[in-house]
Amino acid sequence: MQFNGKEHLVWSLNNYLGLANHPEVREADAKAAADYGMAYPMGARMMSGNSIHHEELENNLAEFVGKADAFLLNYGYQGMVSIIDSLVDRNDVIVYDGESHACIIDGLRMHMGKRFVYQHNDMESCEKQLERATRLAEQTGGGILLITEGVFGMSGAQGKLKEVVELKKKFNFRLLVDDAHGFGTMGKTGAGTHEEQDCIDGVDVYFATFAKSMAGIGAFVAGDKEVIDYLRYNMRSQIFAKALPMPMVLGLKKRFELLKSKPELREKLWKIANQLQTGLKERGFNIGVTNTMVTPVFLQGDLYEATTLTKDLRENYGIFCSIVIYPVIPKGLILLRLIPTAAHSSEDVERTLAAYSEMGEKLKSGYYKENKMAVA
């Protein structure tokens, strides 16, 4: 990436499989823009905005993630808000993971009925909330929707999908999974975290965005035919909005074709992720509980140190990585979240590890605190 006119090695791009600059993707994007322009289609899907390409992409996505049908969404964030809004009414009860993404939380805000939060990935807490939800649903006559994620994007922890699905033996609920980070990266074929954990059928409604492994815009939701048809005609974010533009749909078709036919891209991503995570651990860095490619590095320091060390990495080592600080994480902690991709090389990882070692030593020595002008 160019930053202030200088080349930087970046660890903060949503491009897991390195498709963004793949020559076939660039060519497909350019050709589709030349063929259609950016304007088509010029209506919502239900009105004049449908095309065989939209439908073909939906059918292929559904098959790939092991569901009967799929529906394209213009954006992941607003899609999830609208899915939640459509699936439940005031009699239904939602049970959800405490570290859910903002799009899930904002979807919950639309819900007129009750919701119960369980502690992040804590199955005991989840069971307790399902008990409460069951008691309430018996009174209201509604159903229960449990919402969690396939891969939590900040910590890199997988949602415990298989264990949640097991709870269906005890409780009557349906499961909605946001697999924004797992689609294309997790599982034997890259179908997602439900494939990785061998519980494809237990996930009733599967959601993923194109913004991560597909390096695109838009998202999709997949599930049983009746559920997807219901969403097709009830999701306000789609009914009352223009469909995804043709160049994006055609570009997504190409990305998806490569995602399916080039397992070497996923293998490369995991090679880079493993090299990076092993190297960081060997150097004594705390990478938390990640069991996916998302690589958080937790450091101790205040806000000044966080911004100064980021600037040091960027200006003096040519390494760009976004930081996360309080209130997203507790005060006194700094989180550098690295997103490995298939576009990184082993040399990139070695260069980053060497820079992180020096940065870590400097942080420990108080360099970023005391020598305030050192990297200014």
Ligand X SMILES: Cc1ncc(COP(=O)(O)O)c(C=O)c1O
The residue ranges that bind ligand X (CB under 6 A) are 75-77, 80, 101, 103, 149, 153, 178, 180, 209, 211, 219
Torsion of CA 126, 127, 132, 135, to 10 degrees: 140
Residue closer to ligand X, measured from CB, 87 or 363: 87
Task: Give yes or no for a cis peptide into 41 (omega within 30° of 0).
Answer: yes
Residue closer to ligand X, measured from CB, 170 or 236: 236
**Which strands make up the sheet holding 295-300, listed edge to edge?**
295-300, 333-338, 323-324
Residue closer to ligand X, measured from CB, 54 or 101: 101
Residue closer to ligand X, measured from CB, 156 or 301: 156
Closest distance of CB 79 from ligand X, Å: 7
Closest distance of CB 178 from ligand X, Å: 5
Residue closer to ligand X, measured from CB, 173 or 220: 220
Residue closer to ligand X, measured from CB, 62 or 151: 151
* Contact (Cβ atoms closer than 8 angstroms) between residue 56 and residue 203: no
Closest distance of CB 73 from ligand X, Å: 8
122 contacts: CB under 8 Å, gap ≥ 6: none
Compute the C-alpha angle 82/200/290, nearest 5°: 80
Distances, alpha carbon 140 to alpha carbons 93, 233, 362, in Å: 9, 25, 59
CA–CA separation, 258 and 19 (whole Å)? 8
Best CA proximity match to 15, nearest among 263, 348, 339, 292: 339
Closest distance of CB 328 from ligand X, Å: 13
User: For the chain, how are helix, strand and coil distributed in percent, rounded to 5?
Assistant: 45, 15, 40
Per-residue DSSP letters for 219-232? EEEEE-HHHHHHHH
Distances, alpha carbon 215 to alpha carbons 237, 243, 252, 343, in Å: 22, 19, 9, 12
Per-residue DSSP letters for 170-191? TS--EEEEE-TTTTTTSSSSS-
Residue closer to ligand X, measured from CB, 178 or 312: 178
Closest distance of CB 52 from ligand X, Å: 24
Residue closer to ligand X, measured from CB, 256 or 356: 256
Residue closer to ligand X, measured from CB, 76 or 184: 76
For CA atoms 222, 223, 226, 231, the dihedral sign is negative
Closest distance of CB 109 from ligand X, Å: 15
Best CA proximity match to 82, nearest among 48, 62, 110: 110
Closest distance of CB 293 from ligand X, Å: 13
Tokens, residue 246: 């043709």
CA–CA separation, 51 and 28 (whole Å)? 17
Closest distance of CB 207 from ligand X, Å: 8
Query: Which position's Cβ is nearest ligand X?
Result: 76
CA–CA separation, 223 and 205 (whole Å)? 5
Closest distance of CB 181 from ligand X, Å: 6
Closest distance of CB 7 from ligand X, Å: 26
Residue closer to ligand X, measured from CB, 58 or 178: 178
